[in-house]
Chain A
């Protein structure tokens, strides 16, 4: 029995750029998989929270991972190069992977993010993530003292 012709999807980024992707590749994103299974018959699938910059990267990643000829070692090498991006882009990809529900990409990007964060100081974390310190001076001192050895 011959399989039906490989279907191609059109994914549209938030800034209205269109990308052609094979369905079998795109369904690595569970969000897209669900849309397809629910019988979405739009011409293009709009991805409102993913801009073209991120979508291009995501498609690059999806295609590498869908490729059955690439070995685990090759994927690992690819990952190592893929995550070499400015930190804000890493975060952008994490958000996009979360929105699209793409577990493999989420894994790789979160690992990369955690790796970078490991040695940061508390101040660096606040700066890079734009987090407001909502402790009072006394509270912060107390929390610090609780785990003083972790700062050594």
Chain B
């Protein structure tokens, strides 16, 4: 048995340990918890996790692009600079089938992923530390159609999951309910809203710092199904709605995270191979009135239209496109396009996310079972 010593002859002051250790990858840090008790305490501390995260976030080479491959039910991470696949990533998903079937990823924030399955169960998961927690049932009936969002409130240091639930009122009219789960309070709260709109996809479209956004169809009386952007602010927990720019209702559109701001992409000539896209953001004027402002345009030669399934997302300034089993990254600034993976790699992507490895732990986190126990 190794002798227990009260004090250690470590000749580096703690702030120096922190400087060095905060530059190590998560996997290494988890191993190094075994070095001694002081290191375990340091590495396990929330302060250290925050520091480590901030260092990772400010280093663009540490933020990989994560794509969820629905066929293999796994994540594939891509190097943000070279776009080569780094690793396949079920990080315990293959060991424990506790996530249910038909899983989808709602979003990725600070190294924590929000996963849902077809029965509407929700999990928060840190794949780097292999810790997770299942969210408790909420207030409203979950059997109606739901669309989820996931984000972070930096003011109260709180991870929140927001659900839009859709309720049929009468022909052509739908009401919605909104619930938000707070990781700090570990409880659901209902937010009263007075909107009426519809949505067909279970996950939100865009997550930016501090807010989450959905494209929805207005289903209030006389609205004739115009498209709107619904936005949920993580800090104020308010849901706001804004119609799309007038002239663009009939054109292909998508949304993306442009420098942590919600940006809309419209296309003037969707029928052409050489498409011209416009990028818009929402700006407030001096009296707080919001309107769309066109920021820039970019051109994308999508080749044979039939092959392109979707513009998945934009991550770190790169547009991720799904070209029938092949992934492509388009860099808006350099205007360079790159097919990723080898010609044998085939992906069935369901979404693309910005990902950074972190040590973050959320209240109620526990390790994924090691012995394959299915935890319901």
Cβ of A95 and Cβ of B16 under 8 Å apart?
yes
Q: In chain A, what residue has the closest Cβ to B6?
A: A134
A91 / chain B contacts, CB cutoff of 8 Å:
12
A71: interface (CB < 8 Å):
no
Digit string of A115-137 for contact with B (CB within 8 Å is 1, else 0)? 00111001001100111111111
* Complex partner residue of B23 from A95, A114, A125, A145, CB under 8 angstroms: A114
Cβ of B36 and Cβ of A132 under 8 Å apart?
yes
Cβ of B24 and Cβ of A114 under 8 Å apart?
yes
A98 / chain B contacts, CB cutoff of 8 Å:
13, 15-16, 19
B30: interface (CB < 8 Å):
yes
B37 / chain A contacts, CB cutoff of 8 Å:
134-135
Cβ of B2 and Cβ of A129 under 8 Å apart?
no
Q: How far is the CA of A145 from the CA of B11 in the complex (A)?
A: 29
Digit string of B1-42 for contact with A (CB within 8 Å is 1, else 0)? 110110011111101100111011101101111111101100
Given A110-B23, A117-B24, A122-B31; A132-B12 close (CB under 8 Å): no
B30 / chain A contacts, CB cutoff of 8 Å:
147, 150
Q: In chain B, what residue has the closest Cβ to A136?
A: B1
A133 / chain B contacts, CB cutoff of 8 Å:
2, 35-36
Q: In chain B, what residue has the closest Cβ to A139?
A: B37
B376: interface (CB < 8 Å):
no
Cβ of A134 and Cβ of B10 under 8 Å apart?
no
Given A147-B30, A149-B130; A126-B36 close (CB under 8 Å): yes
* Complex partner residue of A129 from B4, B10, B19, B24, CB under 8 angstroms: B10
Q: In chain B, what residue has the closest Cβ to A119?
A: B28
Q: In chain B, what residue has the closest Cβ to A147?
A: B30
Contact size range, A: 20 to 34
B204: shortest Cβ distance to chain A, in Å? 31
A74 / chain B contacts, CB cutoff of 8 Å:
none
* Complex partner residue of A111 from B23, B35, B129, CB under 8 angstroms: B23
Cβ of A122 and Cβ of B34 under 8 Å apart?
yes
Given A110-B19, A113-B20, A117-B24; A95-B12 close (CB under 8 Å): yes
A146: interface (CB < 8 Å):
yes
B136: interface (CB < 8 Å):
no
B2 / chain A contacts, CB cutoff of 8 Å:
133-137, 140
Cβ of A136 and Cβ of B4 under 8 Å apart?
yes
B36 / chain A contacts, CB cutoff of 8 Å:
126, 131-135
Q: How far is the CA of A149 from the CA of B93 in the complex (A)?
A: 13
B370: interface (CB < 8 Å):
yes
* Complex partner residue of A150 from B9, B19, B31, B370, CB under 8 angstroms: B31
Cβ of B20 and Cβ of A147 under 8 Å apart?
no
A111 / chain B contacts, CB cutoff of 8 Å:
23
* Complex partner residue of B25 from A118, A140, A148, A149, CB under 8 angstroms: A118
11 A-B interface contacts by CB (under 8 A) = A94-B16, A98-B15, A113-B20, A117-B24, A126-B36, A131-B8, A131-B36, A134-B37, A136-B1, A147-B30, A148-B370
Interface pairs A-B: 3 shortest CB-CB? A114-B23, A147-B30, A150-B30
17 further contact pairs, Cβ within 8 A, besides A130-B10, A136-B1, A150-B28: A94-B12, A94-B16, A106-B19, A117-B24, A122-B32, A125-B35, A130-B9, A131-B10, A132-B5, A132-B9, A135-B2, A135-B36, A143-B34, A147-B31, A147-B129, A149-B130, A150-B31
